[in-house]
Structure 1
Amino acid sequence: MTQNSMAYRAAQAYRGVAVTVPPLRAMVMLYNGAIMFLQKSIEAQEARRFEEAHGHMMRATAILRGLSHNLDFARGGAVADRLYDTYNALILACLRSFGRRDVSENYRRIIASLTELREAWEFVARTKDAAKPPVGQP
């Protein structure tokens, strides 16, 4: 699968999730997916299944690429700019780390960063849900 087709599929997956799941929940799900694929990549690397590890890493970066391509810079302003830079830095870190001796350590740091972002989005989702009036109330 080529880079462009993976990016297209990631963007399609993002749009598909965005239609069926509230946007904040979709963000959390996408972060979970990227984290899961990086964890699988670490496991495959450690088992010396390098092609499989590469495929998992590419799926994680495709999710990040999909997130970066779906930012709304008009509404998001400086936050969207920072997220774009963050996603691209994480993508480059994944690509540069693959095949190196310290790949597992590097991927764990990337996973920690993604976990922080995911937790921030979870907090925003909980805060937004708490601010909503109960069903049937104005």
Structure 2
Amino acid sequence: MPEGRISSGGPWEDRYGYARAVVAGPHVLVSGCTATVGGEVQHVGDAYQQTLTAFSIALDAVEKAGITRADVVRTRLYVVNADDFDAVGKAHGEVFGDVRPACTSVQVAGLVDERMLVEVEVEAYRPVERGDCGG
């Protein structure tokens, strides 16, 4: 698995000084992802579709790190409207139902764009294989 930082090419990474994901040893830590593609919020008003899109962006970073959805061990869901928790949870279940990572869901007052209904974070872990000294 490559070490270092993974970029999605999004405009905010350079502007605000962060990476889409960081690979640190066997850990892959993915920054918060929303349903923003090409600088535009997708699926306005639809928390379910926004969640699927956000997870797609997050999992793209996981795959760039050389691991898969099956290696995800924790997710965090930041949801603006309490009424959307079921839709967001349904999307989470469709993506991770067979993986069953630890998951935290939190209602937040808002996100950086009022059209954003959900933001997700993903952490993945792939243990170092036996005989691999990491060097």
TM-score over 0.5 (shorter chain): no
Name which one, 1 or 2, has greater alpha-carbon Rg.
Answer: 1
Give the number of the structure whose residues are more often helix, by fraction: 1
TM normalised by structure 2 equals 0.32
Give the number of the structure whose residues are more often strand, by fraction: 2
